[in-house]
Amino acid sequence: MNDESRNYRKKCLEKIVYGGGPNMTVSEKAKMEIFSSCIEDLEESINQNANSSQSLATKVYYLNIILTIATVAGVILAILQFLN
């Protein structure tokens, strides 16, 4: 989202929260635009977090595979050492 859009959203939010003075009103259209913009930002953030979580899950999966291989190799070496 660009700075102009953020500034517009900030001004609309200020009008909604503080009233903006006696001559300033916020139309329903402006309210819906700001709410829609906030929802879009939230959705984008959720998608980024989901992608990040998926990436982390993949890394943990491969780490588990490596640890399993290392454990099996350790067990085999321990058994071979015990047999000798």
Whether the CB-CB separation of 68 and 36 falls below 8 Å is answered with: no
Question: Quick check: pTM over 0.85?
Answer: no
Which pLDDT band, with edges at 50, 70 and 90, does 80 fall under? very high
Instruction: Estimate the share of the chain in helix, then strand, then coil, as percent rounded to the nearest 5.
Output: 85, 0, 15
Q: 36, 50, 43, 48: which is closest to 8 by C-alpha? A: 36
The ranges assigned to domains in the chain are 3-83
Model confidence over 11-63: pLDDT tens digits? 777 766 666 555 556 677 777 777 787 888 888 888 888 888 988 999 999 99
